[in-house]
Amino acid sequence: MNFQLSEDHLAIQQAAREFAEQEIAPSAVERDKTGDFPEEIIQKLGELGFLGMMTPPEWGGAGLDCVSYVLAMEEIAKVDASVAVVMSVNNSLVCWVIETYGTDEQKERFLRPLATGQKIGAYCLSEPGVGSDATQQATTGTLQPDGSYLINGAKNWITNGTRSFHYIVFAQTDPSKGHKGITCFILDQDMPGFEVGHKEDKLGIRSSDTCALGFTDVRVTPDRIIGAPGQGFKIAMETLNGGRIGIASQALGIASGAFEKAVKYTFERRAFGKPINQLQAIQFKLADMQLKIETARMLCLRAARVKDSGQNYIKEAAMAKLYASTIAMEVASQAIQVHGGYGYVREYLVERALRDAKITEIYEGTSEIQHIVIARQLLKEYAVG
């Protein structure tokens, strides 16, 4: 597999890096403290095409490949994982759903404003009592005589929750069919009966927006069904496969950002009469960190290449997400260790990397779920072989 980046890929990577350093970095520390949502930054991201990167130009997107998305996500997450997750959700979990399963009318109505950044979206699958087992949707959609549905229930841990306008919502519309009775809807925040909960006070990715949602007799017309009734679980699982590439790239960015700060610090800090990068113990740490980051990067790019080729990328996405999230925690921890006591305080930034990294092992499917996904896929491959 060729991992050589094209001139276009390098240009996109450079553009994302410059935007991150110039537009995101100046406010990242303060927003981590206050939890303020990066509204102006997200608006600028949309104007530059980063919120609809893989959406075709005919629907307002940039029409780029998944490799470009991985490169941009890493650069944004290096500087601020909170901004990166807003970008990831809008691209991978919202735009992709409508582009892949929506009608032309739905694409014009919903996808275009999302891809251009005029609006941002949220993906609503998790529920208060339902985590990894998404087959058990308690949120219901009850069919009415006029063909509309009444949505009742609650969703939890919704990224972009208070700031979104369009929401991809999964609800059980035919309990007799189990997970094959789940339907995908698109709701708007201004619908009667739609309630937005308080913003969660989180360990990391603090300036991203996470909240619970409540639905009380929210009336949804049939033209807001994405795909077909009962197709919701299939849509949800396919969406998460692509979303895992985004989160893997976010984890990669967190790790590479922490690593770069650690390397820079080793030139500045002296011990025993010389820079600490002359100490073998520090050199070994840097070597291990670099090895893990490069391996994660190859897994992310491989998953993106397979997705771009139109092949089944379920296993590749899960492997990238599992490994990248694991090493993000390890690299961030070692970056703190390299900094010593200074790494434990906000001023030196690496402590934020550790706090941000933890969520990448949880959302878009926990690390435990990724093991299951990988095992199932490889067993299928061996059974066929």
Radius of gyration of the chain (CA): 21
**Overall pTM surpassing 0.85 (yes/no):** yes
Q: Are strands 194-199 and 149-159 parallel, antiparallel or unpaired?
A: unpaired
Question: Catalytic: which of 74, 127, 316, 364?
Answer: 364
Residue 105 catalytic? no
Burial 249-266 (b: 16+ CB within 10 A, else e): bbbbbbbbbbbebbbebb
pLDDT at 245: 98
Give the C-alpha separation, 74 to 72, whole Å: 5
pLDDT at 1: 65
pLDDT at 385: 64
Q: Per residue of the chain (385 residues), what is the pLDDT tens digit?
A: 667 899 999 999 999 999 999 999 999 999 999 999 999 999 999 999 999 999 999 999 999 999 999 999 999 999 999 999 999 999 999 999 999 999 999 999 999 999 999 999 999 999 998 878 899 999 999 999 999 999 999 999 999 999 999 999 999 999 999 999 999 999 999 999 999 999 999 999 999 999 999 999 999 999 999 999 999 999 999 999 999 999 999 999 999 999 999 999 999 999 999 999 999 999 999 999 999 999 999 999 999 999 999 999 999 999 999 999 999 999 999 999 999 999 999 988 999 999 999 999 999 999 999 999 999 999 999 997 6
Give the C-alpha separation, 323 to 250, whole Å: 12
Give the C-alpha separation, 325 to 319, whole Å: 10
* CATH for 234-384, options being 1.20.140.10, 3.40.30.10, 3.40.50.12500, 3.40.50.800: 1.20.140.10
**Superfamily grouping for domain 7-120:** Acyl-CoA dehydrogenase/oxidase, N-terminal domain (1.10.540.10)
Give the C-alpha separation, 164 to 114, whole Å: 10
CATH architecture entry for 122-229? Beta Barrel (2.40)
Q: Give, to the nearest 10 degrees, the angle between helix 66-79 and helix 232-268.
A: 50
* Residue 253 contacts residue 352 (beta carbons within 8 Å): no
Domain boundaries, the chain: 7-120, 122-229, 234-384
Q: Give, to the nearest 10 degrees, the angle between helix 232-268 and helix 280-308.
A: 150
* Residue 358 contacts residue 258 (beta carbons within 8 Å): no
* Residue 111 contacts residue 99 (beta carbons within 8 Å): yes
